[in-house]
Structure 1
Amino acid sequence: MNLLHLPDYPTAFWVTAVFVMILTGLGKSGFGSGIGALATPLLALTIPVADAAALLLPLLIIMDIFTLPHYYRERRFDGYHLRILLLSSIIGIAIGAYFFDTMSHNERVMKMGIGALAVLFVLIQVGRTLILGALSEEKPGPWIGWLMGALGGFTSTVAHAGGPPVTIYLVPQNLPRDRYVGTTVLLFAGVNLIKLIPYYFLGLLRLGNVTTVLLLSPLAFIGVRLGIWLNQRFNNTWFTRLIYTFLFLTGIQLLTGQNLLALLFTAP
């Protein structure tokens, strides 16, 4: 196989991929909460869901390699909560792999599933203050951690969007900010590595994607640097709201199978 050969993706994919990689880098820098969840749904508008998920996984692992050492060397993580979430995520990863295995032949169902997760992500983020407020009086116990870890493993496997369930469990623990961030960084670095196993056996990892990954990976780091610069100068509240609106509309489009822009500008 010629590793330098680019997949025959439409032009819309490459335009979208540039945007997605920069957004993913912004999310890794901490600018714009949860914006990385937009990556898979957006790419799924232009290529099959399985291709989008498989293409993003090595890119996420590359970014993990550069962010992981800082938190691990300094022990800036909580080992107790990390163990609960990482072990329980394996259950969710297995369920997510089963979903891929049984539904990958039906692209419509796959797109609807990703669309539903996108809409659910936005609803969770919007209602997160109320949820966390209800949990703030008492720290969630280990069983909540196992439940949210498993759910995060599933959503991470299917759409690389495991953050919201983990947040519901981890934020009320009132960890110092650096330990909270470090715990999530180590968690998803581990989750991404574990996901390589089912992705491999499901045939989602392809050597033909190597060139695409190499071409797109620098854009993610541009996004990281841009995010650091923006963090020092701007409030990301309105940017995050815009991203959530975009993610919600993308989810609706995947669910309905309709081009929302075309519907908007088409005369009745």
Structure 2
Amino acid sequence: MLSDPWFYAAAIPSVLLVGLSKGGLGGAMALLGVPLMSLVVPPVQAAAILLPILIVMDMVGLWSWRHHNDRMTLKIMLPGAMVGIGIAWMTAAFVTDAMIKLLVGVVALIFALDYARRAWQLRGGAPSGERPHNRVKGAFWGTVSGFTSFISHAGGPPYQVYALALRQEPRTYVGTSVRFFAVVNAVKVVPYLALGQFDASNLQASLVLLPLAPIATLAGAAIVRRIRAERFYPFMYGMVFLAALKLIWDGLGGLLA
């Protein structure tokens, strides 16, 4: 694998896209990581190769956004995420990637279209001002995010369904999401090991690609720091829309194959 030029042709863009997303540019880029790498290696292997790289990106992101955080979001969503990871671990043999992608994609699409409808009605883009938390919704979407993150590193859209609706200041939103997924990815290591998804070959591939992780993550963070809120939210919802289309496409393709 490490001597195959086609592996690098797919893996390098995958890591760069995921890194930009980790820096704060939205989940649609990250969703392309596993599918793009899956062009040259099996999807499960692609996910296993990316997980150590994701953890390094999380560390860079935590440093980049160390001053921005909303503890209440984490307090509400992280316990649900742990439950979601546990459910995914126990049902890994029964739930297919295609089923999860289709479900999450439909929900994310409805979410993005509803935002577009409200923005059109207001004619002024995203409404200003933060909105209050909802513990039930936060726990639910945290659980879904943990579940889908374990299955295919696709926890972004469920997280965004809840967190974007809070309309936090962009830096607060990104800093909080970085912390959320840093915890989620760290916890995923244990069940991934238990399922035998790490071996010497995959870890070697992760190590070779690792230098790209901080570069891409810092680039994404630098871009987000220069985006104003009235541009940030339309952009982010646009990324959710693209992510939804990608998930639906992959889900239907998997179910119909």
Same fold (TM over 0.5): yes
Equivalent position of 2:11 in the other structure: 17
Distance 1:174 1:238 in 2: 13
Equivalent position of 1:101 in the other structure: 93
2:159 maps to 1:173: no
SS of structure 1 residue aligned to 2:197 = coil
Q: Deviations over 1:143-197 (max 9, x none)?
A: 0011000001111111212122222222333433332222111110000011111
Q: Structure 1 residues 154, 203: closer, same or farther in 2, change over 3 A?
A: same
Asked whether the 8 Å contact 1:61–1:189 carries over to 2, the reply is yes
Distance 1:162 1:14 in 2: 25
Distance 2:99 2:36 in 1: 13
Asked whether the 8 Å contact 1:25–1:227 carries over to 2, the reply is yes
Asked whether the 8 Å contact 1:100–1:158 carries over to 2, the reply is yes
Distance 1:242 1:83 in 2: 26
Kindly state the Cα deviation for residue 114 of structure 1 after the two structures are TM-superposed: 6.2
SS of structure 2 residue aligned to 1:187 = helix
Distance 2:142 2:117 in 1: 17
2:72 maps to 1:77: no
Asked whether the 8 Å contact 1:132–1:171 carries over to 2, the reply is no
Q: Structure 1 residues 69, 220: closer, same or farther in 2, change over 3 A?
A: closer
Larger Rg: 1
Q: Structure 1 residues 224, 67: closer, same or farther in 2, change over 3 A?
A: closer
Equivalent position of 1:86 in the other structure: 78
Distance 1:122 1:196 in 2: 26
The two structures have a TM-score, normalised by structure 2, of: 0.75
Q: Sequence identity of aligned pairs in percent? A: 30
**Alignment equivalent of 1:151, drawn from 125, 128, 144:** 144
Q: Structure 1 residues 182, 12: closer, same or farther in 2, change over 3 A?
A: same
Equivalent position of 1:44 in the other structure: 38
Distance 1:239 1:29 in 2: 13
Asked whether the 8 Å contact 1:139–1:172 carries over to 2, the reply is no
Equivalent position of 1:265 in the other structure: none
2:203 maps to 1:210: yes
* Mean Cα deviation higher: 147-156 or 79-88: 79-88
2:156 maps to 1:163: yes
Q: Deviations over 1:55-96 (max 9, x none)?
A: 111110011112213444x3x212222121111101111122
SS of structure 1 residue aligned to 2:93 = helix
* Mean Cα deviation higher: 27-36 or 118-127: 118-127
2:248 maps to 1:256: no
Give, as a single letter, the amino acid of the residue that structure 2 aligns with 1:95.
I
Unaligned runs of 5+ in 2: 120-126
Distance 1:131 1:198 in 2: 40
Question: How many residue pairs get matched?
Answer: 241
SS of structure 1 residue aligned to 2:154 = coil
Distance 2:158 2:240 in 1: 19
SS of structure 2 residue aligned to 1:36 = helix
2:188 maps to 1:191: no
Give the root-mean-square deviation of aligned CA atoms. Answer: 3.7
Distance 2:235 2:72 in 1: 35
